[in-house]
């Protein structure tokens, strides 16, 4: 009876030992000579094709262009607010000087009243020996009182004006600081996008970069051909206003100069810097940014555009160039490119504005 009991106990022990050994083996890893499947290792990342690289770079430059317009807008406001702060500071300085003089006069008047004892007119009449002399003096006193009231009114108005200028200065300075912050944020964004685009291009071999330029040109030509097929130029003539022609002539002389974001000449330009200076040379002042040019300048249908008109591009109005006639655009494209002439339909057109309409 005892053996089966012992045998059963040993079997249980062996089973327990076997479970423990298996568990330890799993923790320790596969035993020598044991076949085990190799874990899958991720292969090298698939290199994007050149067409995808072209699209990615184009998207990065679009973002940089939008940020550039935001930068230009902030910079324009900063300049205006700096001038406003200077003007207010001059007003504060002159008003403070006037207030100091009035305060000195008020102090002198108070001291004079103190020396006379500040005696009421009725008491001086009762105590005086010469009523006629008093009446003559009383008339002068009344005039003096009127002058004093006028003086005190001037003093009060000057103080109020000074308080107002101080508040204006504070408000303008706060706006100035906000726009400085916007300008810095836009600059940071531009720099980041351009670094990414540059890094993508730098990874390409020489022949790949050449092929990339070919792909960019082919894509532009396709967009231009598609635009022309819509009949967009139907009814468009080659005539333009005198100012428009002068603006276009001036811009034509800038062809070949580098695009630099935030630049407005004379050696480098961004897109709206070029259009602003071109129309300035034609005798017409227009806003600094493409977005403000779109908002503020008179609009004309694409079918009615003339040489010198400004074509505004993209949904956010972040790009602009001058219509050069015959379906062509003269513009400053983007960083790494020069002012050039290409098809007006190579980018999505938002609309057309005419500065001298």
CA end-to-end span of the chain: 119
Q: Is 319 a catalytic residue?
A: yes
CA atoms within a 13 Å half-sphere pointing along the CA-CB vector of 188: 6
Question: Which member of 77, 257, 277, 319 is catalytic?
Answer: 319
Question: Which member of 61, 183, 277, 331 is catalytic?
Answer: 331
Question: What b-and-e string marks burial along 313-322, b requiring 16 or more CB atoms within 10 Å of the CB?
Answer: bbebbbbbbb
Q: Is 331 a catalytic residue?
A: yes
Q: Is 22 a catalytic residue?
A: no
- Residue 257, both tokens: 């100069």
Question: Which member of 271, 274, 310, 352 is catalytic?
Answer: 271
Element (H, E) at 274: helix 271-281
Beta bridge partners of 341: 330
**Is the separation of the CB atoms in 165 and 88 below 8 Å?**
yes
In whole angstroms, what is the distance from residue 349 CA to residue 329 CA? 11
In whole angstroms, what is the distance from residue 308 CA to residue 243 CA? 8
- Residue 9, both tokens: 């106990």
Tell me the catalytic residues: 271, 319, 331
């Amino acid at each position: 009876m005892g053996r089966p009991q012992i045998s059963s106990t040993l079997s249980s022990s062996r089973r327990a030992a076997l479970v423990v050994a298996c568990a330890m083996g799993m923790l320790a890893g596969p035993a020598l000579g044991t076949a085990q499947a190799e874990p899958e290792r991720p292969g090298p990342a698939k290199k994007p094709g050149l067409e995808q690289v072209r699209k990615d770079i184009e998207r990065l430059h679009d973002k940089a262009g939008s940020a550039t317009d935001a930068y230009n807008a902030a910079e324009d406001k900063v300049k205006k607010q700096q001038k406003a702060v200077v003007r207010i500071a001059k007003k504060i300085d002159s008003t403070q000087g006037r207030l100091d003089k009035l305060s000195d006069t008020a102090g002198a008047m108070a001291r004079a009243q103190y020396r006379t004892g500040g005696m009421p007119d009725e008491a001086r009449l009762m105590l005086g020996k010469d009523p006629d002399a008093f009446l003559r003096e009383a008339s002068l006193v009344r005039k003096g009182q009127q002058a004093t009231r006028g003086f005190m009114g001037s003093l009060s108005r000057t103080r109020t004006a000074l308080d107002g200028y101080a508040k204006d200065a504070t408000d303008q300075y706060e706006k100035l600081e906000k726009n400085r912050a916007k300008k810095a944020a836009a600059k940071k964004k531009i720099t980041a996008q351009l670094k990414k685009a540059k890094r993508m291009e730098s990874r390409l071999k020489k022949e790949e970069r050449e092929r990339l330029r070919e792909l960019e040109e082919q894509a532009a030509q396709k967009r231009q051909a598609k635009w022309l097929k819509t009949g967009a130029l139907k009814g468009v003539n080659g005539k333009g206003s005198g100012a428009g022609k002068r603006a276009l002539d001036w811009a034509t002389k800038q062809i070949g100069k580098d695009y630099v974001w935030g630049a407005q000449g004379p050696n480098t330009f961004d897109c709206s810097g070029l259009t602003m200076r071109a129309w300035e040379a034609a005798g017409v002042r227009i806003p600094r940014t493409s977005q403000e040019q779109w908002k503020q300048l008179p609009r004309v249908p694409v079918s009615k555009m003339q040489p010198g008109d400004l074509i505004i591009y993209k949904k956010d109005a972040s790009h602009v160039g001058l219509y050069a006639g015959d379906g062509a655009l003269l513009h400053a494209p983007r960083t790494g490119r020069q002012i050039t002439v290409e098809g007006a339909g190579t980018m999505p057109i938002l609309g057309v504005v005419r500065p001298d309409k």
